[in-house]
Chain A
Amino acid sequence: MASVHESLYFNPMMTNGVVHANVFGIKDWVTPYKISVLALLYDMTASKITLPERRRLNKLILPLQQGPDLTLGQFLKTVEECCPQTAYAVKLRLHEMADGELKDMEYFFSTLPTPFTAFDSEAYKTSVVGLFMRHMLLAYNKLSFSQVYKLYKSLQHYYHSHYAKPADGTLGLPALVANDSDMDLTSTEDTVGDRIDRDELDSPLHESELRFVMRFLDKVLLFVLPKNDSTPSRGPLSQKQAEYFLARQAYLLKNDENKALKPAALQEELNNMLKFNPDFAEAHYLNYLNNMRVQDIFLSAHSLLHYFDRLILSGNEGKSNGDEGYGRSLRYAALNLASLHCRFGHYQQADLALQEAIRIAQESNDHVCLQHCLSWLYTLEQMKGSDSTVLTEDSVKMAAHFCLPYLASLGIQSLVQQGATQGKTAHKLMDALKDTDILHWKHSLSELIEISLAQTTSIWRMYGKSTMALQQAQLLLNMSSLEPVNFGVQQNNTEAFAVALCHLAELHAEQGLYSAVSEILQHLKEQFPPHSQHAKLWMLCNLKIQFERHMNEGKYHLAEPLVTAMSALNKTEGLYRKAQVLKALNRSTEAYKILQRLQVHCEKSKCTEVVIRVMLSTAELHWESSGFSTALPLLLQALALARQHHLQSLASETILHLAFTQLMLGVPEHALSVLHEAIEPVLAHGSVIDKGRALLLTARCQMAVAGFGPNGHGQADLHLAALAVDTLNESAAYFSKLSCKERLRDVHYLQALLHRSLGQTSQCNKSAMLFRLLDQELQSPAPPVSMRL
């Protein structure tokens, strides 16, 4: 208790650090900057200005009045851009005050046109300008003696700090004093006419005005808040500056995290803000968001609760009836806590918090809050992995009833997602999406539009329509933001964009365009840095692409380490890939075991896509032990499943497998006819490797039908053989694109075979040589050409 300053507490009049409640009552305070604005307004009413200049100045008034405080240099520069003459007049007036005495400032305030008398001027009490002036006059008149003196001091400081670095203005000032006096003499009659003109001029400009304001503020904030944190921590921000700062950062966090301040810098900024203004509750919320960004559960929970503790106060203060604002924030506090736990995967905690929110909302009959709770409830259920269709449907119905389009369409989107995995018919899903889209555009819910587009992309890809998926992804990426205030953000970094970009990368990888893929991934990496929330999406995508590539090129040893990384991100995917690697390495027993496990697991969790792929892999395992007939029922089952769920790419894949099995069972004619069914979709939508495989298989079937058995006896159908040569050439082109050497070797072998039987020796030799080269390069003994698809 003995610290030095303690001795000051003996004075009972002292109020150390506490600002009395009445200070909060007044919103407006006279600051040096406000005086400059007043001077500007005064000069605008008092002097003749050409129409275009006046229009520009008029557009400036609102942002200047409502924006954060600027330094004199910025202020004058902004005004100068619009009207140099007025800027000069303002500068002069400030000079008079700052270099004069206290009475000059007092004189200035007394000469301001009083809004109550000046009926004709723009400063009449009901106009925007008049209101501002009234506020300022009131605030000025309320100041105590010492405060007036302090204001004058700070005005001097404000003015002189601008001229501390010598500017040309100081020298020019006295010379123009004479000019200034004429300006003062201009009567106000002229301005009336001007005003009418202004109104006419301004009316069509309303739309652009808002943008102008925002751009202006943006520019201002660039001055006020430098992005690099190398600058020493600045002093406190004004209320408006702080609000704008928070709004901007929050928006950026949501939409483009990379443009926001770095987590540490933002934290420092917020701490600074809170130190000077501990009552600024919103800063706590931003703190919460920022902590979520770095996945810090302790600090984010702390900030969230602190925010709501504060909010409860302000809610109570703001509303006279008290209960409404206060109880409301309680409900949402619990709801937010639930969402916090949900984000961190604490489902049980989230559940408890949610129940609490629901209970409180029910008690106070807040249907909107209840609706929000319901939508969280089904999300939670979904995250836990249980079926929540009924809940979601309820939620959609209720949301529609209470006119909450946002929640309703969010519910529908969630339903569509569930429906897609559970094999709902495509047209129903698309219909639902179309309906929600209408809703989105009607209410311009840009975020949901993005989600909807990303979802359509995913659905098209699931159905195996790569072109449609590509188109939707491009649509999303090329769409310009619909947000009214977008702080210059072009590319959002919401989950929707991540999903679309990942699809884009995979689609390009399928076509073997790896340089494009690496570009897309690079972009993803920049846009969603590894610590961010959606980074896992592209990480998995990247791994998958690499894995596929290595598998295609036959570099199994490179593919194997990727599996571990994949399992970390997605267990199912990791297991499946592991089985694939094991199969490729001829460790069939292990692979079979894994596949069995996987199938059981996926059937339980209804991952139809994986189930089908597992079945195909199992069938391939059967081939290796020549169990072609045992593979058949599996394949048929897979085909049925794929057709039932409209998974076209998987269906054609299955058909390829079927055809191969039939070929192996010695019925190439059947195989060929079955193949015809699949070849079209594969060529249209399939990946390069699939195309190559399909064509290779076709060629082999054609050869078999033509009579080129493995033993190559009997009379061959030359026409069919020529056809097979073409097919093989085509498939060779595809394989070489992917540098899929093993398959290329097979192709060359078959080509050599065909050419020989067609009697084309030189071509035969060429193919044989190519085969020989590849064989030497690969070194691994060629597996019997027949044994795989």
Chain B
Amino acid sequence: MKMAALCSEFGDLVQIKKQLISVISLCKERGLLHSSKWASELAFALSPLPKDELPPSPPFTEDDAQDLDALTVAKSYFDLKEYDRAAYFLRGCCSRKAYFLYMYSRYLSGEKKKDDETVDSLGPLEKGQVRNEALRELRVELSKKHNAGELDGFTLYLYGVVLRKLDLLKESVEVFVEAIHALPLHWGAWLELSNLVTNIEMLKSLSLPDCWIKDFFMAHMYTELQMIKEALQKYQNLIDAGFSKSTYIISQIAVAYHNIRDIDQALALFNQLREQDPYRIDNMDTFSNLLYVKSMKPELSYLAHNLVEIDKYRVETCCVIGNYYSLRSQHEKAALYFQRALKLNPRCLGAWTLMGHEYMEMKNTSAAIQAYRHAIEVNKRDYRAWYGLGQTYEILKMPFYCLYYYRKAHQLRPNDSRMLVALGESYEKLSQQVEAKKCYWRAYSVGDVEKMALLKLAKLHEQLTESDDAAQCYMLYIQDIFSCGLEHAEVSTALRYLGQYYFKNKLYDEASLCAQRCCDYNDAREEGKALLRQISQVRDQTETPSADLFAPLSNNNTPVRRVSPLNLISFTP
């Protein structure tokens, strides 16, 4: 079990592969399915070893030999989910493997019974009272052994899980760290630890073993803590180090891109993932979110049908179908499927939030609030649920009330322009123009996704008759739009305003340029022409020759940039 000693420096892929192969068999023997799945996936991504390089099977002790029969029968009961039976036959075993399986079956039996109990409880009095009765005993036994220093990596991990289930979070963090030190290759322990780390300071304060798997953990943690840039960097390093074929890393990167709303990148990665691993269901709900955002109906439909064929009773499948119906504006059905997802796993955060969105679409605000609140209960850091609550109250025309929720969302995602724009809008409704301006400007500074912040800022300045500021904002807006090459509905408004503004300030060249551009848009054509006429009238009076003005400009895609008369650097809202 001395895996820690086996830890070599990062980069020696052969060593890593050997370690993975041995840890896979260890996990399998103990029924730790998810950890062995993770390790196997990773091992699969590495090139195969020649026969003589395969790691030797772990040493077979006297104890193991003694318990072999009991262990075999218990393991088969365990695999069939007959936990009590497994525990019964493992009672007196003294080998470490058997002891772990014995404790683990007791734990799982308790969990299973707890879940069964919940269905037919004796009423609300008992609700929440239902608990895993085995936990207390397990804790007593394990802590005795722990104090005596008799626990190995796996039992430490189980002890940590038991502590966490008993809400002894601080102790459980310590035990998980200990478990990781004892057996760094057990991914389950890392994951449990990751659920307990709430902020970056805490992460930094942990003393973790210096092993290649730590990089995976850190990358995972950065994603969880919304430090996407760092996470992407870490994953890139891992890919460069030779894990380029790992589907796990690809999916994690895709999720990270999804979190920073780099949709195209994420979509490309997910498509790649689907090619490599066509029957994969994990993370497909995130993929469907992306397709939804991009309104790619046929792709989403294809994905939904495909997943239903693979396994229709998976949370992810239900979420995908829900998204599919939502995109088709069949919100009742969508909500139904999200509910089904929640029945499959009530702690599925995404489904709660998505259900909230569906209820919003159906104008059932109270149900939406309920769904969002549930999401927050599951995870307080779910910014979408906070944002959704804010939107709900905004729909209910309570701009002040929703400020709180938007602020919460903003706290969790300080660099997300959508929250800032929402905040700004609320402030605008409350006629708190100063705050609104700050929000819009900040939204623009952090990189506006929807390109609305500047326009709104400009309009706000326009309302406040701060024409210089308004013109600046419109100009920035137009530059922004043209540089992206997007079509935006409000460009004409901006051009119209700029034209008038230049005209008032007697900058006729610029004014006529804007007026000309105005004529490209249907809704502003008449005004553009009128302005041009006005300009020529004034010009006739003042006799300013400028015949060659339009020639160089007509082939310029971003004309305003050339004529910007104001120093943009000094711009402060």
Contacts and interface: CB of A to CB of B under 8 A. Distances in A.
A147 B117 CA distance: 9
B125 interface: yes
Contacts of B366: 312-313, 315-316, 326
Contact of A16 (B34, B195, B347): B347
A3 B347 contact: no
Interface in B238-286: 282
Most buried by A among B33, B115, B123, B315: B123
Contact of A4 (B104, B120, B125): B104
B187 interface: yes
5 contacts: A1-B282, A17-B115, A18-B343, A301-B404, A310-B373
B125 A29 contact: yes
Contact of A359 (B107, B121, B397): B397
A784 to B, nearest CB: 61
A679 to B, nearest CB: 59
Given A9-B344, A12-B313, A360-B397, A23 B104 contact: no
Contacts of A235: 129
B122 A30 contact: yes
A313 B374 CA distance: 12
A334 B188 contact: no
Contacts of A205: none
A19 interface: yes
Given A4-B107, A333-B401, A337-B400, A31 B34 contact: no
Contacts of A352: 400, 430, 432
Contacts of A9: 315, 344-345
Interface in B342-356: 342-347
A4 B188 contact: yes
Interface of A: 1-9, 12, 14-20, 23-24, 26, 28-31, 69, 139, 143-144, 146-147, 150-151, 154, 235-236, 238-239, 275-278, 301, 305-306, 309-310, 312-313, 315-316, 326, 330, 333-334, 337, 349, 352-353, 355-356, 359-360, 363
Contact of A3 (B104, B123, B195): B195
B128 A18 contact: no
Contacts of A6: 34
A305 B127 CA distance: 25
A3 B401 contact: no
Contacts of B40: none
Of A4, A7, A151, A333, the most chain B CB neighbours within 10 A belong to A4
Contacts of B121: 19, 23, 147
Contacts of A144: 120
Interface of B: 32-35, 37-38, 104, 107-108, 111-112, 115, 118-129, 158, 161, 187-188, 191-192, 195, 282, 313, 315, 342-347, 366, 369-370, 373, 377, 389, 396-401, 404-405, 430, 432
A306 B404 CA distance: 11
Given A6-B34, A9-B345, A29 B122 contact: yes
Contacts of B35: 2
Nearest to A9: B345
Contacts of A14: 115, 344
B161 A4 contact: yes
A15 B188 contact: no
A7 B313 contact: no
A147 B122 contact: yes
A775 B78 CA distance: 100
Interface of A is mostly: helix
Contacts of A151: 122
Nearest to A6: B34
Contact of A277 (B104, B124, B389): B124
B111 A150 contact: no
A275 B127 CA distance: 10
B118 A17 contact: yes
A12 B346 CA distance: 11
Which one of B107, B124, B282, B405 has the highest number of Cβ atoms from chain A below 10 Å of its Cβ? B124
A654 B311 CA distance: 94
A20 to B, nearest CB: 8
B344 A12 contact: yes
Nearest to B33: A7
Given A2-B191, A235-B129, A305-B404, A15 B122 contact: no
A353 B400 contact: yes
B127 A276 contact: yes
Contacts of B398: 330, 333-334, 356, 360
A7 B128 contact: no
Contact of B122 (A1, A31, A330): A31
B250 to A, nearest CB: 16
A376 to B, nearest CB: 14
Given A16-B115, A29-B125, A4 B108 contact: yes
Contacts of B118: 15-19
Contacts of A313: 366, 369-370, 373
Contacts of B124: 19, 23-24, 29, 239, 277
User: Which of A31, A150, A312 has the largest number of chain B CB atoms within 10 A?
Assistant: A312
A236 B115 CA distance: 18
A301 B125 CA distance: 29
Contacts of A26: 123
Nearest to A353: B400
B385 to A, nearest CB: 11
Contact of A356 (B115, B369, B401): B401
Nearest to B340: A12
Nearest to A147: B120
Contact of A15 (B125, B128, B343): B343
A239 B158 CA distance: 35
Contact of A236 (B111, B122, B125): B125
A8 B115 contact: yes
A275 B401 contact: no
Contacts of A4: 32, 104, 107-108, 111, 158, 161, 188
Nearest to B372: A309
B112 A8 contact: yes
B128 A277 contact: yes
A273 to B, nearest CB: 10
Contacts of B396: 330
A1 B34 contact: yes
Contacts of A69: 125
A95 B400 CA distance: 61
B372 to A, nearest CB: 8
Contacts of B119: 15, 20
A476 B120 CA distance: 55
A356 B400 contact: yes
B127 A3 contact: no
Nearest 4 A-B pairs (CB), nearest first?
A: A2-B34, A29-B123, A276-B128, A316-B366
A352 B402 CA distance: 12
Contacts of B122: 29-31, 143, 147, 150-151, 154
Given A3-B195, A28-B123, A150-B122, 8 more contacts: A4-B107, A17-B118, A24-B124, A31-B123, A147-B122, A276-B129, A301-B404, A312-B366
B129 A312 contact: no
A19 B121 CA distance: 9
A334 B401 contact: yes
Contact of A23 (B127, B158, B342, B430): B127
A751 to B, nearest CB: 71
Given A23-B124, A238-B125, A353-B400, A18 B346 contact: yes
A431 to B, nearest CB: 40
A2 B187 contact: yes
Contacts of A31: 122-123, 125
A82 to B, nearest CB: 26
A581 B75 CA distance: 88
A8 B83 CA distance: 12
Nearest to B31: A7
Contacts of A355: 400
A110 to B, nearest CB: 20
Contacts of B282: 1
Nearest to B345: A9
